[in-house]
Amino acid sequence: MTDPGVEPSIEVHLAPDHAATALRHDVRTGLGARPRWLPPKWFYDARGSDLFEQITRLPEYYPTRAETAALSVAAPEIAETTKARTLVELGAGSGEKTRLLLDALVDSGSLLAFVPQDVSATALRATSAAIAGDYPMLQVVGVVSDFTSDLARLPGDAPTLVAFLGGTVGNFLPPERARFLHSLSAVLEPGEWLLLGTDLVKDPHVLVAAYDDRQGVTAEFNRNVLRVVNRELGADFDVDAFEHVARWDAENEWIEMRLRASHPMRVHVADLGTTLEVERGEEIRTEVSAKFRPDGVRAELRAGGFEVRRWWTDPEARFGLALAERIA
């Protein structure tokens, strides 16, 4: 049972207006482009986070179950191989899957500290408090930061294991992935570790269904980004006039989520002093979710300064976990 008396420490590396400034920049840039786009990170206000939790329990959405299955098998070997004293989780969220790693590392006797990182201070405080209460033997230091720019400021004693789970790396376009892996290798010492979760290429019908469920939960999740823009920037998108689109791009081997306007509209974004003319049938890309092949994962990690030492999948080989060592 969680010990309510255990208090983690929280480090905040973001300015108070970071989210508002970033949202204004992304909306101005993305909606001013052709074709238009918005980054997927803006799905996740409180409502969006609740919708995503619902998505992870849908029968069509296999990634969470598949990664958990792989991690449950891999965790003891990960602990034995890395002997990590510090576990860092990027984009920690609720930290549920991470408990498999925490249990294995605590049982192995090496782990001293857990460092969950997230851009949301509210979510991070809740996760940090829950973990600190359940693992009182660990130092828990939550870090509110942007992992695309603040990796060098993550605390902890070596050797460090960085976990980047959920297939989130697939939301980066290839040049962004390369920059991210280089920046991560730059803050790790040779012999330290990265555990990377990657959704694998499979039957396109399975992939599309995971992003276009029959109940329409993913459609509501997709449209939620427009609700965020409406609320935070004084926009007047007719949210329900946008159709959810999930499409497999075979050339790039990624899923794209888009929002398609069902009729022409003029949208005012008051806080930006901007008016958008949106045509009927025009689409706004809201997410790219790349799917990977094992050889491709190894090649990208090697180019970023890592060497894959162990590789696991779930029993149906839907999701991959790469344990990669930072090389000199």
Domains (range + CATH), the chain: 18-43+204-290 (no CATH), 60-200+292-326 (3.40.50.150)
pTM: 0.94
CB of 23 within 8 A of CB of 43? no
Half-sphere exposure for 303 (CA within 13 Å, toward CB): 12
The span from the CA of 124 to the CA of 251, in Å, is 37
Query: What pLDDT score does 297 carry?
Result: 98
Record the tokens describing residue 285, joined without a space: 């890309």
Query: For residue 278, which phi and psi values (nearest 5 degrees)?
Result: -105, 125
Query: What pLDDT score does 6 carry?
Result: 63
CB contact burial 258-275 (16+ within 10 A = b; e otherwise): bbebeeebebebeebeee
CB neighbours of residue 192 within 10 Å: 20
Mean pLDDT of the region 137-157: 86
Mean pLDDT of the region 75-79: 98
- Per-residue pLDDT tens digits for 259-295: 999 999 999 999 999 999 999 999 999 999 999 999 9
Mean pLDDT of the region 81-103: 91
Query: What pLDDT score does 295 carry?
Result: 98
Q: What is the mean pLDDT of the chain?
A: 94
CB of 251 within 8 A of CB of 274? no
Contacts 24+ apart (CB under 8 A), 200-203: 200/291, 200/292, 200/293, 200/294, 200/313, 200/317, 200/318, 200/319, 200/320, 201/253, 201/291, 201/292, 201/293, 202/291, 202/318
Is 3 a residue whose pLDDT tops 80?
no
H or E segment and range at residue 298: helix 294-303
Query: What pLDDT score does 310 carry?
Result: 98
Mean pLDDT of the region 85-99: 87
The span from the CA of 297 to the CA of 315, in Å, is 19
User: What secondary structure does DSSP assign to 104-149, as a single string?
Assistant: HHHHHT---EEEEEES-HHHHHHHHHHHHHH-TTSEEEEEES-TTT
The more confidently predicted of residues 134 and 149 is 134
Record the tokens describing residue 105, joined without a space: 């590392």
- Per-residue pLDDT tens digits for 177-230: 999 999 999 999 999 999 999 999 999 999 999 999 999 999 999 999 999 999
Is 5 a residue whose pLDDT tops 70?
no
Query: What pLDDT score does 2 carry?
Result: 45
Is 174 a residue whose pLDDT tops 70?
yes
pLDDT band, residue 1 (cuts 50/70/90):
very low
pLDDT band, residue 97 (cuts 50/70/90):
confident
Is 136 a residue whose pLDDT tops 70?
yes
The span from the CA of 72 to the CA of 95, in Å, is 14
Q: Which residues pair with 139 in a beta bridge?
A: 113
Give the residue among 267, 261, 263 at the shortest CA–CA distance from 237.
267
